[in-house]
Structure 1
């Protein structure tokens, strides 16, 4: 009997076989038996599948073949998304961003994988992954209407141009992320230098995040910090509150305190300003484990 379907690949062949066997085991519930023969030609391994028994489910031979193709298409689309996607991204980055060093290309790849959100539970990322798989699934089904064999690498290169364009856009975002991150780290390094060369104007500065999201600076005695320490920075906005994150960073750098105590909730630690403070002041930063200021602030937060 001639092969009902033949699939070839130079990479991930063990997973290809495992995934197809997994799909075809579902057909066995209807008594449809699939046989497989394996061969090799050059760098490629080929798997030839035959419908050995059409079973007794009442499907016509044509219906059985169509069901078979759907199982194949589902397996191939899953294989590409889960096994080839990372490799394809790395190839795109090497080709398009060759002027970056290998280490920089690796960092860009890591940013790209974050966009794909591989290995993480995230609703938006899962939706996008399903969207990519759906695109591939449609293209494989279209291809199988007139073909009984497929070489995965060739199929990706010549039949999935839309998919490759989507991955290319992800690589572009990742490259932008890398450059922004590099610029941010250089900025932190410069700010850290300014802090290191200055004499502390106060030993302790406390940063209190208000219910409104604004900041308030206090000294060790819980008193609002006067602007005399800030060399002209306008910080007494209302009740000494700072409603500009960059102004907060500038004020702290000017004071260059020995210790910074952050009064904030766990979720506030994700704020960009908090991340910058930790990046600039390092071990000088301490998180308050809970005090009267924190409790009062929590009461205000609950009211809001």
Structure 2
């Protein structure tokens, strides 16, 4: 029987438990010293099967520490809290996208054992997974951009919320009816259709012919600052995040209904 051995400075207890639970009939043996588990040996013919949980373990355990080191080294200008948040987002993304990463690691494991019967895990990670580490750095950069974008978004929402609170309302009750095509129709409290007037106000102030319906909606509400906002046919809203934005900014002034009736009179629009 030809055996292969993996040596490492890392704790192997989690990998040991996974392998023993899934492959109890397979030949494998873990070596333990006073500092914990340091190496294990298995039958080479079992490697293709056992390499699957091994790759997953390397991805989730070894590269969790890699993420922390990359962020600490590359993003020193960020605060400790910001680095922690980016680290958490990156680890979550790594879990979500682990299939491609696991396959990449597994292929390299099998390739290395075609050449040698012994593998040092630290050397394997450093020298054989350079492509993986490049992908990991790109993932962290994407998570950084996502974090900063979200941070800017919430800061912007705070400004809009403050503005909506301190500025005097310029309109009474505004009724908004979502359409199946993603557009919105606007009505005053007497149920008069004022869609054209509202859009005219928007284009007069912003003059952006490429603005989306959602951009126009938010801008109209910020311009008018209605005392009360009634939203009808919410199930037709294509961008569900828009409701979260409106709730964050206007809070109790926003009432949402999935039906097709006026909130006050019961009359259909």
The TM tier, using the shorter chain, reads 0.7 to 0.9
Shift, 1:100, TM fit: 0.8
| 2:186 pairs with 1:194 | no
CA separation in 1, counterparts of 2:53 and 2:212?
A: 53
**Could you tell me which residue of structure 2 aligns to residue 96 of structure 1?**
74
Which position in structure 2 is the counterpart of 1:175? 144
Return closer, same or farther for 1:211/1:84 CA change in 2, 3 Å cut-off: same
Question: Where does residue 24 of structure 1 map in the other structure?
Answer: 23
**Which residue in 1 is equivalent to 2:246?**
277
Deviations 1:178-205 (A, max 9, x none): 1211222222222223212221123322
1:69 Cα offset (Å)? 2.6
Count of residues in Structure 1 that have an aligned counterpart in Structure 2 = 257
| C-alpha distance in 2 between matches for 1:34 and 1:114 | 34
Q: Distance in 1 between matches of 2:22 and 2:51?
A: 10
Of 99, 109, 112, which residue of structure 2 is paired with 1:130?
A: 99
Q: CA-atom RMSD, angstroms?
A: 3.2
Q: What residue in structure 1 maps to residue 172 of structure 2?
A: 203
Identify the range of structure 1 (3-12 vs 87-96) with the bigger mean alpha-carbon deviation.
Answer: 3-12
Report the CA distance shift for 1:84/1:270 in structure 2 as closer, same or farther (over 3 A). Answer: farther
CA contact 1:206–1:260 (8 Å) conserved in 2 = yes
Instruction: Give structure 1 stretches of 5+ with no counterpart.
Output: 52-64, 119-124, 236-241, 295-304
Whether the aligned pair in 1 keeps the contact of 2:233 and 2:260 (CA below 8 Å) is no
Match of 2:266 in 1: none
CA–CA distance in structure 2, aligned partners of residues 171 and 19 of structure 1: 28
Matches within 5 A, 1:42-53: 45-49=37-41
Q: CA deviation at 1:292?
A: 2.7
Contact 1:35–1:50 (Cα < 8 Å) also in 2: yes
Report what 2:130 is aligned to: 161
Task: Tell whether the 8 Å contact from 1:4 to 1:48 is kept in structure 2 after alignment.
Answer: no
Contact 1:207 1:260 in 2 (8 A): yes
Q: Does the Cα contact within 8 Å between 1:230 and 1:254 map onto a contact in 2?
A: no
Q: Is the 8 A contact 1:8 1:45 kept in 2?
A: no
Cα separation, 2, equivalents of 1:267 and 1:111: 31
SS in 2 for 1:221: coil
1:163 CA displacement:
0.6
- How far apart are the structure 2 equivalents of 1:276 and 1:9? 49
* Structure 1 residue 40 corresponds to structure 2 residue 33: yes
C-alpha displacement at 1:224, in angstroms?
A: 2.4
Please report how far the alpha carbon of residue 257 of structure 1 lies from its aligned counterpart in structure 2 after TM superposition: 1.8
Is the partner of 2:259 in helix, strand or coil? coil
* In the alignment, structure 1 residue 141 sits paired with structure 2 residue 110: yes
CA offset digits 1:263-286 (Å, max 9, x no partner): 244473743433322222123222
Give the drift of 1:70. 1.8
1:232 and 1:46 mapped to 2: Cα distance?
Answer: 71
Q: Bigger CA drift: 86-95 or 157-166?
A: 86-95
Kept after mapping to 1: 8 A contact 2:67/2:87: yes
Which stretches in structure 2 are left out of the alignment for 5+ residues?
A: 205-210, 264-269
Distance of 2:127 and 2:236 partners within structure 1: 47
Give the corresponding residue for 2:5. 6
Q: What is aligned with 2:87?
A: 109
